[in-house]
Chain A
Amino acid sequence: MKCRQYNVKIFEIGLDDPNSFRDFIDANLVLIKNHLLSLKGTLDETTKEFLDERGLKYVCNMELPLPGRGVNEFCLTKSDESSDSKAEESSSVITDEEPEEFKMDPLKIVKGPLRSGQYIQHNGDVLSTDRINSGAKIAAMGSVVALGKVDGDISSAGDCIIITPTKKGNILFHGTRIDGEKLIFPLNLIRFEGDDIVIKPISKKEFN
């Protein structure tokens, strides 16, 4: 029997106002496209078609085994734009613009060592040229390339992670924890092949 454990990010959203719901989904599609939606309320046919058209995965009115912690609330009204959520500071989660395509922020380059307690959250790709120390974290909606030693945390929802070997780092690719024992190459390329996450060597020459 094959058994896998995944860390899944779930967005729990109310269906009280279908129009607001659809606006919210379109505005935040880049953030939620790779995550599971837990919908609360009545799912009408129009909304169902809307979700299916965008290829979103969802469950409706399911009791989730949430322990009551680690829940971030996203608000729909403009007056709540001043929320102190760090995700909202760095990536425009709430917008009036109609998103015709996914808008990712430009590449973020982290030049010095990322020290304990420092946290990079970026709606795009991240390139770290130096160490990522224990207690530091990079969370990117895009790919992450880490050329220095990684003892901290990396989370990527992008196309790939390129990383040096690490046994201390906590590496999450699309919510799935990557076993450090499998990062055996001088430079490891982590990406999807079909539904499977694969780790392949990448030469620095190839990388250049």
Chain B
Amino acid sequence: MSKVIAVISGKGGVGKTTTTANIGLGIAMQMKQCVVVDFDIGQRNLDMILGLENRVVYDMVQVMDGEAALDQALIRSKANRNLHFLPASQTKDKSVLESAKIKQLLDELKKKFEYVILDAPAGIESGFEHTIEFADSAIVVVNPEVSSIRDSDRAIGILDSKSQLVKDGKEVEKKLIINRFDPDMVEKGEMLDSDDILEILGIELLGIVPEDKGVIDASNQGQPIIMNEKSQAGKAYKRISKRICGNKTPIVKPKASKGGIMGRLKGIFS
């Protein structure tokens, strides 16, 4: 049965689009048919992170308006044949979205794909509300900082009041990804620990992605970090993708380094 998952955060710049690209590819690597949909109308970015920007011809707004067929707008990923991408319109704004058209589009996508991943825009305005409206579940992406957590908390509150599932008396499943986690900073007391974040937000943890400088370069190259076998962030996204697909992969919490060159040498000989 097909599942629609909205990737939300409330705050911008926490790695929502990067997460969408990586888990989309990760799910495809699990041999599941997956589509990632960019709902950030007017601020399209997912195409670049997937390295597909030069292949965009039609967008989701044109599909919803009947100007293009869904198959014309869908782009197959170069990295994995199981992954498809539906781009947002770059020339229109969020006001073009209509509930009925979105539902129709998602119903069509659900017929074709096992996983439909929606990349929500930042903020809690109409674009966000349309993204969560017909989602079966949500992945909340936070950075370990208070402003990100408060904005996510706000986004969860809106999800719990405005999604169609809630209006139908059901519950929207919500899972948390803590992104850009730096265990060294946590150890120094400079960053919130994952337990603190979980206590505040009160939702289930899906995974912790460590801070990894390679993520920016990977995004710039259009090759999601999950393709890098050595990257810790890439490994974290792989584990997260497996969990989304129902595999019982244990959650790995990044550990602090042992401090400096001497500490690392001690670590090697201990």
Give A contacts to B, CB under 8 Å. 112-113, 115-118, 130-131, 133-135, 149, 151
Contacts and interface: CB of A to CB of B under 8 A. Distances in A.
Contacts of B156: 115
A133 B197 CA distance: 11
Contacts, number: 32
The main secondary structure of chain B at its interface with chain A is: helix
Nearest to B156: A115
A166 to B, nearest CB: 13
B251 interface: no
Contact of A135 (B153, B158, B199, B202): B153
Given A116-B150, A116-B151, A131 B157 contact: no
In the complex, which range does the number of interface residues on chain B fall in? 10 to 19
Interface string B183-224: 000000000000000011010000000000000000000000
Given A133-B150, A134-B146, A134-B150, A117 B157 contact: yes
A116 B157 CA distance: 7
Interface of B: 146, 150-151, 153-154, 156-158, 160, 199-200, 202
A33 B202 CA distance: 39
Contacts of A130: 202
A116 B154 contact: yes
Lowest 7 CB-CB distances: which A-B pairs, in order? Answer: A115-B157, A116-B154, A116-B153, A117-B154, A115-B153, A113-B202, A116-B150
B202 A131 contact: yes
Nearest to A135: B150
A16 B154 CA distance: 44
A134 B154 CA distance: 10
Contacts of A134: 146, 150, 153
Nearest to A115: B157
Contacts of A118: 157
Given A118-B157, A133-B150, 9 more contacts: A113-B202, A116-B150, A116-B153, A117-B157, A117-B158, A131-B200, A134-B146, A134-B153, A151-B200
